[in-house]
Amino acid sequence: MNFIGQILPVDGYYVLLKDQLTADYTTSLTHLYQPLIGMQAVMLYQTLLHELEFQKDSPQTHHTLMNYLNIPLDELYKARLNLEGIGLLKTYKKQLEQSTMFTYEIQCPFSPNDFFHDAMLSQLLYHQLGHEKFSMLKNRYKVTTHGDLGENITASFNDVFQTFTPTLEVVKPISSNDLNNDTTNSVDLHWMEQMLKQRMIPVGQVLTPDNRKLISQMMELYDLDNYEIEKSILWALNEENLLDCDEFKNACHDLFKSKHNNATIKLTERITFPKQKEQTEPKTKEEMLIQKLETISPKQLLEDLSGGHQASEQDMKIIRDVMTSQGLPSPVMNVLIHYVLLQSDMKLSKAYLEKIASHWSRAKIKTAKDAMEFAKKERDKFQKTNNKKQNYNYTKRNTKEIIPDWFKERKGNRKESQTENPPINSKQPIVNLEEEKAKLHALLNQKQKNN
Can you give the CATH number for the domain in which 70 is found? 1.10.10
Residues 226, 180 share a domain: yes
Last residue of a domain, one of 391, 412, 443: 391
pTM of the model: 0.46
Last residue of a domain, one of 92, 110, 128: 110
pLDDT for 301: 83
> Is residue 309 in some structural domain?
yes
pLDDT for 437: 64
Pairwise CA distance, residues 400 & 449, whole Å: 74
Residues 262, 295 share a domain: no
Overall domain count for the chain: 3
Among candidate residues 14, 176, 149, the one with its CA nearest the CA of residue 82:
176
H or E stretch at 261: none
Q: In angstroms, how far is CA 291 from the centroid of its own chain?
A: 17
Cβ count near 188 (within 10 Å): 21
Residues 302, 246 share a domain: no
Any residues with CB less than 8 A from the CB of 83 and at least 6 apart, and which?
37, 41, 44, 45, 89
Last residue of a domain, one of 76, 91, 110: 110
Pairwise CA distance, residues 221 & 251, whole Å: 13
Residues 22, 70 share a domain: yes
How would DSSP label each residue in 352-414? HHHHHHHHHHHTT--SHHHHHHHHHHHHHHHHHHHHHHHHHHHHHHHPPPP--HHHHHHHHHH
Residues 294, 229 share a domain: no
Q: Which domain holds residue 347?
A: 288-314+327-391
> Is residue 365 in some structural domain?
yes
Residues 292, 266 share a domain: no
Pairwise CA distance, residues 71 & 69, whole Å: 5
Residues 105, 18 share a domain: yes
- On whether the CB atoms of residues 123 and 265 are closer than 8 A, the answer is yes
- On whether the CB atoms of residues 118 and 36 are closer than 8 A, the answer is no
Among candidate residues 239, 220, 165, 228, the one with its CA nearest the CA of residue 192:
228
pLDDT for 414: 59
Residues 262, 293 share a domain: no
CA atoms within 13 A on the CB side of 5: 1
Pairwise CA distance, residues 72 & 68, whole Å: 11
pLDDT for 179: 40
> Is residue 293 in some structural domain?
yes
Among candidate residues 220, 238, 242, the one with its CA nearest the CA of residue 229:
220
Strand partners, 17: 106
pLDDT for 169: 37
> Is residue 300 in some structural domain?
yes
Mean pLDDT by 10 residues, the chain (451 residues): 71 86 86 91 91 78 89 89 91 86 91 85 87 88 66 65 41 40 50 79 85 80 78 86 86 77 60 51 77 81 78 78 78 87 83 87 86 84 70 55 56 57 51 65 67 58
> Is residue 22 in some structural domain?
yes
pLDDT for 266: 62
Residues 69, 41 share a domain: yes
Pairwise CA distance, residues 83 & 247, whole Å: 30
Residues 306, 376 share a domain: yes
Residues 308, 265 share a domain: no
pLDDT for 4: 61
Cβ count near 358 (within 10 Å): 14
> Is residue 408 in some structural domain?
no
> Is residue 164 in some structural domain?
no
> Is residue 199 in some structural domain?
yes
How would DSSP label each residue in 127-161? HHH-HHHHHHHHHHTPPPP-S------PPPHHHH-
Residues 297, 264 share a domain: no
